[in-house]
A and B are shown apart, each in its own frame.
Chain A
Amino acid sequence: MRVWDWLRSRIARVAVWRRRDRDADVQRELEAHLELESEEQRDSGVPPEEARYAARRAFGNRTRVQEDVREIWSANWLERFARDVQYAARSLRKSPGFATVAILTLALGIGANTAIFSAIDALMLRPLPFTAADQLVRIYSVQKGVFNTFANPDGPSALDVRDFARRSHSFQNLVAYDTWAKNVSFDESAGQPEQLDVGLVSAAYFEILGIRPIIGRLFSEDENQEGKNYVAAISAQLWRNRFDSDPSVLGRKVRINGEPYTVVAVMPDVIPAWVEPGRHSNIWTPFPYSPDMWAESGRGERGYAVLARLKPGVSLEQAQADLSVIAAALAAEHPVDEGVGVSVKRLADSRVGALRPMLYLLMGAVSLILLIACVNLANLLLARNSARQRELAVRAALGAGRGGLVRQLLAETLLLSLIGGAVGFACAEIGMRALARMHPENVPQLNSVGIDWRVLTFTLMVSLVTSLLFGLAPAFMGTRLNLVDALKQGGRSGTSGRSSQRVRSLLVITEMAMCLMLLVGASLLVRSIMRLESQDLGIRQDHLLRGRIYLPPVRYTNPGKRTRFCDDFATRVRALPGVIVATVTTVYPPNNGWTQMLVIPGHPATRIQEVPSAQFGVVDQHFLRTLGIPLIRGRDFAESDSATSPAVALISEEFKRRYFAAEDPIGRKVHIGPPQLPGIAVEENITDDVDVTIIGVIGDFKNAGLVRAPQPQVTVLYSQHPLVNGGFKDILIRTASDPYSVESEVRSQLRALDSDMPLAEVQTIDELVERSTGGQRFTTVLLASFAVAGLALAVVGIYGVVSFLVAQRKQELAVRMALGASYANVLWLVLKHGLKMAAIGAVLGLCGAWAAQKFTAGLLYGISPLDPLVFAGAPIFLLAVAAIACAIPGARVLQIDPAQALRQD
């Protein structure tokens, strides 16, 4: 803007100065000429007064000469352009309503599109920051028929990866890696211990990505062995924050899970978070392959992330075919691999994952907005120019050439587009910031998104072409018009022809249709997310704080120590003021628990697919009370249930329904652990190998994520199950008032027990639910705001057409009223036209929304993509809004004074 102002003032100043100067010059020249002329007349005896008149007469039109001369000198294109722009600015200022709406329309279209497409570009399209990134692929295991493979791709096991590497011919290199949350403390910096996601990688991970350390060295092959793995690489970010970028960081010690690691490298911050399986890693250690990882029994332990670099010239399809053959062979050799396939995806394609369909939806929505904006712009320009037909005709009659008229309209259109573009740019800038602020946690890439200039140029071009198309058309049509006809036709009220009115109606109908599609999409998402967030988790959700701890095995060497620590911690927390009750647990909604195979009497299994299973969790005796889960029958865990007493379990109602449909489960025994089946090693599927007695049935709760219905649940005491009494535990605290009011006290209790142990991921259950729907809400909010924007544009469109109609038909309406038509009759005449457009648009929009259901279906929870409430409500809402938009100009009919209107023009 400032540049433009500067340029404009510069041009204007030069032009004005030069013109004034030259005007004076010509004036003086002509004066001198006239002086001589009248002198001559005087010399020939004409009286002085008369002589001057005669001279002037002989000379002709002086002003005309001056203007001709001015024209000659100002034939400079820049000057002429500046003059056209000045004129255009004046003419836009004279119709501020039109200018404002047109500029806002443009700004909205350009701004929204620039923001969204810039984000999409950064998230999905931008080339990866790695050398020869198109050779980089990820390898997933896909379990046919068990998981939704696209939403939930799983990783292969270490043995699978080893066999892929040995048998395939498509890859230069291939690496399995993982990310683990670990307690990390830094000695000298004396900062708080922190739970960080530690990447477990070999040097090959960095080599495949083509990343060199800033200082230091990559891990050696040797360091991938257990016992020799106590070295760490840190990110440049961690280096800056914790070590002040001190080069002597190499050789310093970092304690990870209580064990010292030596820093050997600082890595640049180029690996995006989505490459890693967890959240963003700032610290990496070698992936020590323990000897038992290579035992055949570990073949079923899947879930490793796999990164590979294709050999030059090998296509994705060739690699996929290569690995598919190997996977089929492995499945034939090892029963545990039965039904497990493999999928190779480009690294670049793995970057948005579950967000992809939402981004496509947003892309569609924002394109609709651009379309609506263009249609609106076309409509506005058509209306304006047809109202100006008369002005144009008058100017043509006064001698303006077609070139001049076209140039004039061009200048107006360009000026409009440029201002719209500038405001749009500002909107995009604001929009990007808003996007980054409200982005869900799983899209950290959004922080680095900037305005994409190509997108801005593209959208600006689209709107420019639109405005040129509809802005200039009347110039050509107008100038071709017979002047007399135009003046005569325009003589009444500056009407446009019938055909242009039809075009405008069509445009409004299109707008209405697209707007309805947006409305339907947004309402569906809003209803879906409301369902998702308001559903009953099966617990008392409020005033519940949660935090995560990890008990590293070096310090907590046996299950007894872990039980003691957890019990101590929970006891101390329960004693805090403001805490009602607290529990240490591995399971709570809406998180996924882990699935445990079981042996249940009366449910024999001969194949792995038939083995009974349930969501499994280990808790302490305060679990039910803290979460507020109802006990339906039997008894709760008691303090008397200890490591030495018989093992007991609580099952959920769904568990009872599925496995004890007709019987009373209380007192029955269930075996926690897989049955003896050929091909299933006991070690596989983790874990426990013990019989438990069912002592109670509890209410169902959301134990498999927000979206899935509650699954069978079996809950046991960690004190009674040493094999599954692991290091990761969560503490859930029910508080009397604001949950966060107890946070610092809880932290200091933990510090008092173990100063090296961080309390991680502190949040309320409400927040946890909100966060798990973050992506959904993000899309919903955006789509809803697009729908509102689209609605605003459509309202402007229909308002414009109807008010134009009223102005144009004023006389006709006046005649009708003069002949006895009531106000209501006349008003209806006007409304009818607007409502007809809205209704046709709504019907078309419904068809469009129906056709688009397969795009929305995957994003909805608990409602059909053809939800009747939405499909009925959205058009009614649209029609109501349209009616109001029509009624405002319609009300002007009521102000018509027939006598006056008829006398006009």
Chain B
Amino acid sequence: MTAKKAPNRAELLQGTLDMLILRTLLFGPAHGHQIAKHIQRTTDDVLQVEHGSLYPALHRMERKGWIVAKWEIAKDRNREFKYYRLTLAGKKQLVREQSRWKQLAGAVATVLRPVRGD
């Protein structure tokens, strides 16, 4: 029952976070930690990925079939990590999310156009 709240709170972020994860995975398989670090790094630490949202998001996307997961030994260490990979459905979803995001960003940009004469 308690879980009911998580999707509600994540709703706003969800689309964005999903898009960012998918986008990260476009460059190749990655595990949770790498995904979080990558998003942080590429956004110059502007976007802090909350772990409480990251893992549920990953599992949600896995369930929807956008990504697949597999335990593999990392190349640089002798340890197993759960690597996520983009599926075809995931790529399509990324395209959809990106175009929606662009629309949204465009719309917001229009609203935020500098006011002349100030």
Seen from chain A, the residues whose Cβ lies within 8 Å of a Cβ on chain B are 25-26, 28-30, 32-33, 35-37, 58-61, 64-65, 67-73, 75, 395, 398-401, 404
Distance, CA A401 to CA B80, complexed state (A): 39
Contact indicator A32/B81 (Cβ below 8 Å): yes
- Say which residue of A29, A61, A70, A75 sits within 8 Å of B82 (CB atoms): A29
List residues of chain A with CB within 8 A of the CB of B56: 65, 68-69, 72
Is residue B50 within 8 Å, beta carbon to beta carbon, of the partner chain? yes
B28 adjacent to chain A (CB < 8 Å): no
Question: Quick one: which of B1-15 are within 8 Å of A by CB?
Answer: 1-6
Instruction: Write out, one digit per residue, whether chain B residues 1-33 have a CB within 8 A of any chain A CB (1) or not (0).
Output: 111111000000000000000000000000111
Pair A68/B3 contact, Cβ less than 8 Å: yes
Considering the complex, give the chain B residue whose CB is closest to the CB of A399: B2
With known contacts A32-B82, A72-B59, A67–B33 Cβ distance under 8 A: no
B116 lies within 8 A of chain A by Cβ:
no
Contacts of B82 in A (CB 8 A): 25, 28-29, 32
14 sample A-B contacts, Cβ–Cβ < 8 Å, listed by A number: A25-B82, A26-B59, A32-B33, A33-B31, A60-B50, A60-B52, A69-B56, A72-B56, A72-B63, A73-B59, A73-B63, A395-B1, A399-B5, A401-B4
Q: Is the CB of A64 within 8 A of B52?
A: yes
User: At the interface, yes or no: B113 with Cβ under 8 Å from chain A?
Assistant: no
Asked if B2 contacts A37 (CB within 8 A), the reply is no
Q: Is the interface of A mostly helix, strand, loop or mixed?
A: helix
User: Across the interface, which residues of A come within 8 angstroms of B55, CB to CB?
Assistant: 26, 29-30, 65, 68-69
Instruction: Give the distance to chain A from B108, nearest Cβ to Cβ, in Å.
Output: 29
Q: Interface size for chain B: under 10, 10 to 19, 20 to 34, or 35 or more residues?
A: 20 to 34
Asked whether A398 lies within 8 Å of B32 as measured between CB atoms, the reply is: no
B 56-95 contacts with A by CB, 8 A: 56, 59-60, 63, 79-82
Chain B contact residues: over half helix, strand or loop, or mixed? helix
Chain B residues whose C-beta falls within 8 Å of the C-beta of A69 in the assembled complex:
55-56, 59
Residue picked from A65, A399, A400, A401, most chain B C-beta under 10 Å: A65
Query: Which B-chain residue is minimally distant from A39 (CB atoms)?
Result: B77
The answer to whether A400 and B3 touch (CB under 8 A), given A59-B51, A61-B52, A65-B51, is no
**Which B-chain residue is minimally distant from A25 (CB atoms)?**
B82
Give A400 to B3 CA distance when docked, in angstroms.
9
Q: In the complex, what distance in Å separates the CA atom of A35 from the CA atom of B1?
A: 30
CA distance A799 to B55 in the complex (A): 54
Chain B nearest CB: distance from A44 CB in Å? 14
Specify the chain A residue showing the minimal Cβ separation from B10.
A68
In Å, the complex CA distance between A109 and B51 comes to: 55
Q: Which residues of B contact A60 (CB under 8 A)?
A: 50-52
Minimal beta-carbon separation of B95 from chain A (angstroms): 24
A28 (CB) vs chain B CBs: closest residue: B82
Min distance, Cβ A34 to any Cβ of chain B, angstroms: 9
A70–B2 alpha-carbon span in the complex (Å): 11
The minimal Cβ–Cβ distance linking B82 to chain A, given in whole angstroms, is 5
User: B1 contacts which chain A residues (CB < 8 A)?
Assistant: 395, 398-401, 404
Minimum CB–CB distance from A71 to chain B (whole Å) comes to 3
Q: Which residue of B lies closest to A29 (CB)?
A: B82
A29 touches B32 (CB 8 A): yes
- In the assembled complex, the Cα of A71 lies from the Cα of B6 at a distance in Å of 10
A26 vs B58: C-alpha distance when bound (angstroms): 11
CB of B97, distance to nearest CB on chain A (Å): 19
Cα–Cα distance between A165 and B33 once the two chains are bound (Å)? 99
- Sample of 15 further A-B pairs with CB below 8 A, known A72-B59, A399-B4, A399-B5: A25-B82, A28-B82, A32-B33, A32-B80, A33-B33, A58-B51, A60-B51, A60-B52, A64-B6, A65-B55, A65-B56, A72-B56, A72-B63, A401-B4, A404-B1
User: How far in angstroms is the closest Cβ of chain B from A199?
Assistant: 72
CB nearest neighbor in A for B8: A401
Picked from B2, B33, B79, the residue with its CB within 8 Å of the CB of A398 is B2
Structural contact, A33 and B32, CB atoms closer than 8 A: yes
Chain B positions within 8 Å of A70 at CB level: 3
Measured between alpha carbons, how far is A404 from B4 in the docked complex, in Å?
A: 9
Residues of B within 8 A of A32 (CB): 31-33, 79-82
Q: How far is the CA of A75 from the CA of B1 in the complex (A)?
A: 12
Q: How far is the CA of A563 from the CA of B60 in the complex (A)?
A: 102
Q: In the complex, which residue of chain B has the Cβ closest to the Cβ of A71?
A: B3
Q: What chain A residues lie within 8 Å of B59 (beta carbons)? A: 26, 69, 72-73
**Cβ contacts under 8 Å, A65 to chain B:** 51-52, 55-56
A25, A30, A72, A404: which has the most chain B beta carbons within 10 Å?
A: A72
- Cβ of B6: which chain A residues have Cβ within 8 Å of it? 64, 68, 71
CB of A67 within 8 A of CB of B3, answer: yes
B4: which A residues are within 8 A, CB to CB?
399-401, 404
Q: Is the CB of A36 within 8 A of B33?
A: yes
CA–CA, A35 and B3, complex, Å: 26
List residues of chain A with CB within 8 A of the CB of B5: 399
CA separation between A69 and B51, bound complex, in Å?
12
Q: In the assembly, what is the distance between CA of A32 and CA of B59, in Å?
A: 16
Cα A30 to Cα B36 with chains together (Å): 13
Q: Provide the residues of chain A in CB contact with B81, threshold 8 Å.
A: 32
Shortest beta-carbon distance, A81 to chain B, in Å?
15
Minimum-distance CB pairs A-B, first 5: A71-B3, A400-B1, A68-B56, A36-B33, A401-B4
In angstroms, how far is the closest chain A Cβ from the Cβ of B50? 7
Report B6 CB to chain A, min CB distance, Å: 5
Across the interface, which residues of B come within 8 angstroms of A37, CB to CB? Answer: 33
Of all chain B residues, which has the CB nearest A408? B1
Contact partners of B51 in chain A: CB under 8 A:
33, 58-60, 65
Q: Within the complex, what minimum Cβ distance (angstroms) separates A74 from chain B? A: 9
Do B60 and A72 touch (CB < 8 A)? yes
Closest to B3 in A: A71
Q: How far is the CA of A647 from the CA of B62 in the complex (A)?
A: 110
Taking CB atoms, residues of chain A closer than 8 Å to B60 are 72
Q: In the complex, what distance in Å separates the CA atom of A67 from the CA atom of B32?
A: 17
Indicate the member of B4, B51, B63 with the most A CB atoms within 10 Å: B51
Q: Which residues of B contact A36 (CB under 8 A)?
A: 33
Q: What residues of A have a CB within 8 angstroms of the CB of B33 in the complex? A: 32-33, 36-37
For the complex, what is the distance from the CA of A161 to the CA of B52, rounded to whole Å?
A: 94
A649–B54 CA distance with the chains assembled, in angstroms: 113
A59 to B1, CA, bound (A): 23
- Contacting residues, chain A, for B2 (C-beta < 8 A): 67, 398-400
Which of chain B's residues have a CB closer than 8 A to the CB of A67? 2-3
Interface residues of B in 28-44 (CB under 8 A from A): 31-33
User: What is the distance, in angstroms, from B35's C-beta to the closest C-beta of chain A?
Assistant: 10
Q: How far is the CA of A58 from the CA of B32 in the complex (A)?
A: 15
Q: Which residues of A contact B80 (CB under 8 A)?
A: 32
CB A758 to nearest CB in B, in angstroms, measures 78
A825 to chain B, nearest CB (A): 46
Q: Separation in Å of the A15 CB from the closest CB of chain B?
A: 15
Instruction: From B52, B55, B79, B80, name the one whose CB has the most chain A CB atoms within 10 angstroms.
Output: B55
Query: In the complex, what distance in Å separates the CA atom of A686 from the CA atom of B22?
Result: 107
Instruction: Give the CA-CA distance A400 to B4 in the complex, in Å.
Output: 7
Give Cα A426–Cα B82 distance, bound, in whole angstroms.
54
Q: Shortest beta-carbon distance, B60 to chain A, in Å?
A: 5
Q: Which residues of A contact B3 (CB under 8 A)?
A: 67-68, 70-71
Chain A residues contacting B31 (CB-CB under 8 Å) are 29, 32-33
CA distance A395 to B4 in the complex (A): 13
Contacts of A64 in B (CB 8 A): 6, 52
B59, B60, B79 — most chain A CB neighbours (10 Å): B59
- Closest residue of chain A to B82 (Cβ to Cβ) is A29
Q: With both chains docked as a complex, state the minimum distance between the C-beta of A36 and any C-beta of chain B, in angstroms.
A: 5
**Complex Cα spacing A59 to B33, Å:** 11
Closest chain B residue, CB of each to CB of A58 = B51
Within the complex, the shortest CB–CB distance from A28 to chain B, in Å, comes to: 8
B61: nearest chain-A partner, CB-CB: A72
State A36–B50 Cα separation when bound (angstroms): 16
Q: How far is the CA of A799 from the CA of B109 in the complex (A)?
A: 71
- Closest Cβ–Cβ distance, residue B26 to chain A (whole Å): 21
CB closest residue in chain A, given B80: A32
Residue numbers in B under 8 Å from A75 (CB-CB): 63
In the bound assembly, the distance between CA atoms of A507 and B55 in angstroms comes to: 53
| Alpha-carbon gap, A71 to B7, bound state (A) | 10
